[in-house]
Structure 1
Amino acid sequence: MTFSDDEIERYARHLVLAELGGPGQQRLKAARVGLIGMGGVGAPAALYLAAGGVGTLRLIDDDTVALSNLQRQIIFTGADTDRPKVEAATTALGALNPHVQVEPVAERLTGANAADLIAGCDLVLDGTDDFATRFAVNAACVAAGIPLVSGALGRWGGQVAVFEGRPCYRCLVPETPPDAETCARVGVVGAVAGVIGSLAALEAIKRITGAGTTLSGRLLLYDGLAGTARTVALPADPTCPVCGGKDVS
């Protein structure tokens, strides 16, 4: 796989990195990443993945842009209000990096269509705030053996984890919490979305290129109000209905 002169200049800061270099950039160019949700996490993540040279981005979201999104979903502008998010995001990503192929999918991911929507992806990044969707994405990724980067946020903080085989997301969250919160209910500082979305994109880049150590089997917890971050190990649940009894892939 070769790079054009434009790509060589565009990715120059990647190409000189010892941990990434030409081989890593080639892996990025060859990769297809599925992004579930063009919201607070997915919007900044998509921008950094496109800027970084991921070859194909599949955007999956059935929502339209609302004025209240613009405080944190920085891929959109005021002119995008009422446009389908995947349509507006495709325009923005094409303007940012014309070498990236974007596959917009204006559908809501469910348990019934999850396997089809992520088919062919090398990695999936889930930034949704709905537990039913998170469970469906997780189950489909475990079944297909696709690495899953999961990001979530609310108020002043957020979390990022990488799941590959066991443990899976259902080991962390066995059931929908009875007091589940959403950004619409409890609020969120816009800049926190940038932090969590960027961390999720970073984990995706590391996993694709083989650089460093990913958060596989670990959960990073970020507290923006206190200015702290910590990671905790995620044990596999032997009774997990999704990954229980399965080997780590």
Structure 2
Amino acid sequence: MDDTQRLRYSRHLLLDEWSEDAQDRLLGAHALVIGAGGLGAPALMYLASAGVGRLTVVDHDTVDLTNLQRQIVHTTERVGEPKVVSAQRTLASLNPEVQVQALAQAADEALLAQWVPQADVVLDCTDRFDTRQMINRACRQARVPLVSASAIRFDGQLSVFDPRLPTAPCYACLFPPDQPPEETRCAMLGVFAPLVGMMGVMQAGEALKLLAGLDQAPGHDTAAGRLLLVDGRTWQITTLKARRDPACAVCAGRL
């Protein structure tokens, strides 16, 4: 780390738990962010501003005027542009030291099989149940921590699924693949913009703790083994214990 980097990241380095080694770990880390929309937009900006050295962002969609109510990584002038390209431009202006790989394609099994094993952490910022299940399976197989969040209307959820922990549940333990929910995309039901931003920021926070090793620091913990429910009407957060399902179709028998 050079003097310019020490200045850029000084407010993190002032934290008792945040050593230069922790910042060096971030600078050498790779985060895979799947989705550059309401969740991915703020998550990407905080990962880049904190100095995560390499970001790979996946999204097949283009910027639409309806996105700009909440997807703060994009601008009005970029309507019609691929979201990953728009995000890449914003992140380059925010922190030019960060390497951003933009993949303008849908996250399918082939893409996940290629990119998940290369990542130190994966952020699921998608809004489709089947895609979330694919991401979970890929992370379990590659033993890469997964930070998952969602937001619809005024309700948000967040958890960390860490396959490196021997008793940790996976996404399918909480949301079985054979029990898909009713259609809950924000295009159908709407979403409170500050809530989806908050959930994306929380995803970035969980990812940064994992990458910097703060999950090992006294008094710190990740959301692994917990499901956080955020009420955007009252800003109350309810924490539920998340347990491994012994009959889970994805991780059963892998204790």
TM range (shorter): over 0.9
Amino acid at match of 2:240: V
CA distance in 2 between partners of 1:80 and 1:74 (Å):
12
Q: Which residue of 2 aligns with 1:168?
A: 170
So what's the TM-score if we normalise by structure 1?
0.96
Distance 1:178 1:213, change over 3 A: closer
2:148 pairs with one of 132, 147, 150? 150
Cα contact 1:109–1:117 (8 A) shared by 2: no
Which segment is superposed worse, 195-204 or 14-23? 14-23
Report the CA distance between 1:118 and its aligned residue: 1.9
CA distance in 1 between partners of 2:232 and 2:121 (Å):
27
Structure 2: stretches of 5+ with no match in the other structure: 215-219
Cα contact 2:31–2:121 (8 A) shared by 1: yes
CA distance in 1 between partners of 2:37 and 2:241 (Å):
27
Q: Which residue of 1 aligns with 2:217?
A: none
Q: Which residue of 2 aligns with 1:203?
A: 206
Structure 1: stretches of 5+ with no match in the other structure: none
Q: Which residue of 1 aligns with 2:127?
A: 129
Q: Which residue of 2 aligns with 1:190?
A: 193
Q: Which residue of 1 aligns with 2:222?
A: 214
Matched position secondary structure for 2:109: coil
1:87 pairs with one of 70, 74, 85? 85
CA distance in 1 between partners of 2:245 and 2:31 (Å):
27
Report the CA distance between 1:49 and its aligned residue: 0.4
CA distance in 2 between partners of 1:17 and 1:34 (Å):
26
CA distance in 1 between partners of 2:203 and 2:46 (Å):
10
Alignment of 1:91-102 (within 5 A): 91-102=89-100
- C-alpha distance after superposition, 1:28-78 (max 9, x if no partner): 111100000001111100000000000000001111100000000000000
Amino acid at match of 2:209: K
Identity %, equivalent residues: 44
So what's the TM-score if we normalise by structure 2?
0.93
Which stretches of structure 1, 4 residues or longer, exceed 4 Å deviation after superposition? none
Total equivalences in the alignment: 245
C-alpha RMSD over aligned residues = 1.1
CA distance in 2 between partners of 1:105 and 1:112 (Å):
13
